[in-house]
């Protein structure tokens, strides 16, 4: 028994004609008939009642149909996986990333890649830029994407593109009502900053004020800024709509914007495959078009 014989049997049941099966498979009618007859001999059962050009599946054939179709589907998956392996040796991509990019971007990117490479599994976890290198170095994930990643001796880093980080507050916050500010004004106001617990201590990013709230993600910071709790440095991709609507305001103090590299890091022993490279290229293109 081989899968070609099973396919002939299934098609004969579905199409109801050996001639139609032969036409679809690009073979002669007699070749299809011999294939099915050989299968009947091997099984020791009659699969079709034949009368001239007409064929009618027996109860045995109908009982075997579902199992045969499952076997053929498994064969297709195996073939597809082998073809995909020839294109890329990646079967799973584990990604740790910060939330400097909108969640919608990650959803769209993963869905698009999954549609193009359906047999590859994707895992995405959230981490701060300070945490990402250690997660990658430990082998917990394959790739780490983040804003201004710290260097790590065991990792390679690649710049994906520059990202603007802006100093903002809610449009209704008292700081936003001023025509001009200086750093003393900011030091005397609550700052909301990115915080990470590393090796028994907390690291805070861009902290200026001693009156601060540390949070573990950019989106949490943005939401608290929106509640008029304080001011913060935030990545431009998370601010676009709020700045346009006036819900947020870039603070009138120099500097009110910084440029940082958005980067990917991976272990020196890790080779980026086709899908990983496709993801990196998609990200670089998006950053270039954004600014």
The ranges assigned to domains in the chain are 3-85, 92-160+262-290, 162-260
Per-residue pLDDT tens over the stretch 255-268: 899 999 999 999 99
CB 47 within 8 A of CB 36: yes
> Torsion over CA of 139, 143, 144 and 150, rounded to 10 degrees?
70
In this predicted structure, what is the pLDDT of residue 272? 87
Residue 129: CB atoms within 10 Å: 25
In this predicted structure, what is the pLDDT of residue 199? 75
Per-residue pLDDT tens over the stretch 86-144: 555 678 999 999 999 999 999 999 999 999 888 889 999 999 999 999 999 999 999 99
Same fold yes or no, 92-160+262-290 and 162-260: yes
Whole-number Cα distances in Å, 169 to 20, 84, 239, 251: 70, 48, 11, 7
CB 199 within 8 A of CB 133: no
3-85: CATH number: 1.10.10.10
Per CATH, the architecture of 162-260 is what? 3-Layer(aba) Sandwich (3.40)
Distance of CA 139 to the CA centre of its chain: 18
Eight-class DSSP state of 153: T
92-160+262-290: CATH number: 3.40.190.10
| Separation between Cα atoms, residue 9 and residue 36, nearest integer Å | 6
Is 138 in a helix, a strand, or coil?
A: coil
Eight-class DSSP state of 269: T
Percent of the chain with pLDDT over 70: 96
In this predicted structure, what is the pLDDT of residue 239? 95
* pLDDT band, residue 205 (cuts 50/70/90): confident
Angle at CA of residue 107, ends 133 and 239, nearest 5°: 80
């Amino acid at each position: 028994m081989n899968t070609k014989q099973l396919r002939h049997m299934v098609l004969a049941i579905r199409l109801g004609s050996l001639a139609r099966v032969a036409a679809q498979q690009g073979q002669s009618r007699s070749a299809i008939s011999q294939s099915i007859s050989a299968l009947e001999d091997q099984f020791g059962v009659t699969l079709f009642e034949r009368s001239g050009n007409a064929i009618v599946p027996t109860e045995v054939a109908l009982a075997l149909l579902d199992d045969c179709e499952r076997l053929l589907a498994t064969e297709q998956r195996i073939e597809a996986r082998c073809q995909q392996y020839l294109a890329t040796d990646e079967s799973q991509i584990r990604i740790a990333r910060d939330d400097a990019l909108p969640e919608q971007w990650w959803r769209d990117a993963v869905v698009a890649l999954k549609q193009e490479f359906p047999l590859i599994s994707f895992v995405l976890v959230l981490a701060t830029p300070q945490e990402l290198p250690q997660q990658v170095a430990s082998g917990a994930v394959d790739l780490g994407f983040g804003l201004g990643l710290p260097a790590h001796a065991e990792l390679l880093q690649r710049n994906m593109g520059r990202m603007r980080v802006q100093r903002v507050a809610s449009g209704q916050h008292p700081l936003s009502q001023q025509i001009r500010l200086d750093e003393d004004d900011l030091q005397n106001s609550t700052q909301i900053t990115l915080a990470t617990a590393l090796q028994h201590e907390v690291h805070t990013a861009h902290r200026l004020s001693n009156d601060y709230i540390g949070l573990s993600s950019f989106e949490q910071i943005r939401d608290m800024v929106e509640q008029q709790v304080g001011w913060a440095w935030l990545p431009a991709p998370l601010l676009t709509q709020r700045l346009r609507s006036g819900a947020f305001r870039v603070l009138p103090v120099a500097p009110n914007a910084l440029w940082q590299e958005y980067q990917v890091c991976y272990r020196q022993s890790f080779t980026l495959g086709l899908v990983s490279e496709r993801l990196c290229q998609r990200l670089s293109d998006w950053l270039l078009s954004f600014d």
